[in-house]
Amino acid sequence: MKIIAISAVTAGGKTTIVNALKDRLPKAAVLYFDDYDFDGEVEDYAKWLADGADVNVWDLSPLKADIDRLISGGEYEYILLDYPFAYDHRMLEGYIDCCIFIDTPLDVALARRVLRDMQSAPAEDILSEMRSYLQYARPAFVHMQNGHQASADYVIDGTKAVSDIAEEICGIISGI
């Protein structure tokens, strides 16, 4: 069994790509980071950055337990992780066989997030989100993008078509 982590910033394409890979890899289980509530989740990203931006503050025990369960079940060839931290979290680094970072420009990721999450939001809410993004979120995303991209095994252009990214990743996976 191989564990493949697909990493990117928020709205960088992780879930979309993992879902496209699942369709192409019939013996793959998928775990989505956003499906979990973790102790230690960061609430104040400005303070987190000022304190050194340690991703290990997230207690990933629930995700680790699900990975262990899938491994012991033995029915899958792959576990696909929709997961932002690449190899940078101590709790999971030893599990991951390959990490692929989807390098999506932050303006594209922001536009995707607004389109995905704020379609019916009032204009004032969108403006408030843009102010918050510029002041707090963007610096955290830049830090995370630079750090996690550097620790990944492969970096793929996040502006490519989903089918092209999935095909490229399938080629990578077939070689490991």
Q: Give the domain CATH number at 32.
A: 3.40.50.300
Structural domain count, the chain: 1
Q: Are 47 and 135 in contact (CB under 8 A)?
A: no
Answer whether residue 80 shows pLDDT above 90: yes
Answer whether residue 81 shows pLDDT above 90: yes
Say what the pLDDT of residue 97 is: 97
Say what the pLDDT of residue 137 is: 83
Write out the two tokens for 175.
Answer: 């070689």
Domain assignment of residue 100, given as a range:
2-174
CA distance 121 to 123: 6
Mean pLDDT of the chain: 93
Q: How many CB atoms lie within 10 A of CB 168?
A: 16
Tens of pLDDT, residues 87-121 = 999 999 999 999 999 999 999 989 998 999 999 99
